[in-house]
Amino acid sequence: MGPLYKFGWFDFAYSLQLAGLIGFFFGFVLERAGFGNPRKLTAIFYLRDFAVLKVMFTAIVVCSLGLLYFSLAGWIDLGRVYLLPTYLWPQIAGGFLLGVGFVMGGYCPTTSVVAAVTGKLDGLVFIVGMILGSLVFAEIFPALKGFYEAGSMGAVRLNDVLGIHSGLVALLVCLMAVGVYWFVEKVENRFGDPETLPGGSRRAKVTAAAVLVAFGVILALVNPDQAVRTRASGVTELSKVRKAETPKPAASASEGFKIVDDEGC
């Protein structure tokens, strides 16, 4: 079914309005989670609070599982989902510069907007810095174009690189998430403040981890890539049969005649 915009469910203007509405609620949730506070954000670099890693990793896992299960159900066509092309070396360099800026400024691009909206001056300064940096980059882009396009791999996914189907990748991501969550909680308990860290029963955490791994195991066994290919081939064959069975309209004596305007006679 989806993505809805590419199937013509709404026009370009409405898509921009919808994007603005989604962005508003996304920023609202970030602010309520404390991600408009630079101390909360930079606590990960001091091994005190890994909320940023937990939230972002959870978003990755939910998105991965959701897209694959929606694809299995026929609710979304992953072939129509736009994938950003991979440029290996400039993206590694960009990630390093973003991390350095994160530590120095206390914000990433999105959280700086959240902070500025809530009245924090340092968030506004961060936004101004991003704008100036973008202008400088645009001016010197001709000199950096060669490096900008270095390591081009096209629009690839992990299953393409690893040579396995996407269900196995989802299982590996789920196992990685469970291991990372367990490890960072150990680190938090050693270096963080127990009074500010979120609680939660061990039973609930173990149950959530088991459910997450179970979702990954199901995808690994089902092989969503093969299931989607099988469904697509079945739809193609059915369309060919229907096209062959559709009777051709009989030719009329006035086949070349075309009514331009109905005069009511």
Task: Give the integer Cα–Cα distance in Å for 167 and 69.
Answer: 10
Residue 260 confidence (pLDDT): 44
- Check whether 228 has a pLDDT greater than 90: no
Residue 140 confidence (pLDDT): 94
Percent of the chain at pLDDT exceeding 90: 40
- To 5 degrees, how large is the angle CA 213–CA 214–CA 218? 120
Tokens of 119: 């009245």
Q: Radius of gyration over alpha carbons of the chain, in Å?
A: 26
The pLDDT tens digits of the residues spanning 206-216 come to 999 999 999 99
Residue 87 confidence (pLDDT): 92
Q: What's the whole-model pTM score?
A: 0.76
The pLDDT tens digits of the residues spanning 26-57 come to 999 889 888 889 888 888 988 999 988 998 89
Three-state SS string over the chain comes to: CECCHHHCCCCHHHHHHHHHHHHHHHHHHHHHCCCCCHHHHHHHHHCCCCHHHHHHHHHHHHHHHHHHHHHHHCCECHHHCCCCCEEHHHHHHHHHHHHHHHHHHCCCHHHHHHHHHCCCHHHHHHHHHHHHHHHHHHHHHHHHHHHHCCCEEECCCHHHHHCCCHHHHHHHHHHHHHHHHHHHHHHHHHHCCCCCCCCCCHHHHHHHHHHHHHHHHHHHHHCHHHHHHHHHHHHHHHHHHHHHHCCCCCCCCCCCCCCCCCCCC
For the chain, give every domain's residue range.
Answer: 1-32, 50-82+157-235, 84-156
Closest C-alpha to 120, from 26, 20, 24, 38: 38
Tokens of 57: 């990793």
Residue 234 confidence (pLDDT): 58
* Cβ atoms 67, 84 nearer than 8 A: no
* Cβ atoms 235, 77 nearer than 8 A: no
The pLDDT tens digits of the residues spanning 123-166 come to 999 999 999 999 999 999 999 999 999 989 888 888 888 889 99
Residue 263 confidence (pLDDT): 41
Mean confidence (pLDDT) of the chain: 84
Q: At what angle do helices 202-222 and 166-191 cross, to 10 degrees?
A: 160
The pLDDT tens digits of the residues spanning 167-199 come to 999 999 999 999 999 999 999 988 888 877 877
Residue 208 confidence (pLDDT): 92
Q: Region 66-80: what's the mean pLDDT?
A: 87
